Structure 1
Amino acid sequence: MTNDTPDVDDSIDSEPFDMGPEDAEYPPVLRITANPQEKARASSRERLEDWQAGETVPHVINFQDPEMLRKLLTTRRLELLRSVMTERPDSIRDLADRLDRGVKETADDVNLLADYEIVYFEQDGRAKQPYVPYESVKIEIEVEATATDEGEEPAPA
Structure 2
Amino acid sequence: MPITPEQIDAAAHKYYRDRVRRALLGAAAGPVGIVLAIWAISSIASGGFIFFWPIFVIIPTLLGGLGHIARKDEIIRNRKKELTRRARAQLGDAEAKRQLEEGEPPERDYEADFGTGLQPPHPSHPPYSPGQISRREERDRRQSHRRHNRDNPWD
TM-score under structure 2 length normalisation: 0.24
**Richer in strand (by share):** 1
**Richer in helix (by share):** 2
Higher relative contact order (CA 8 A, sep 6+): 1
TM-score under structure 1 length normalisation: 0.24
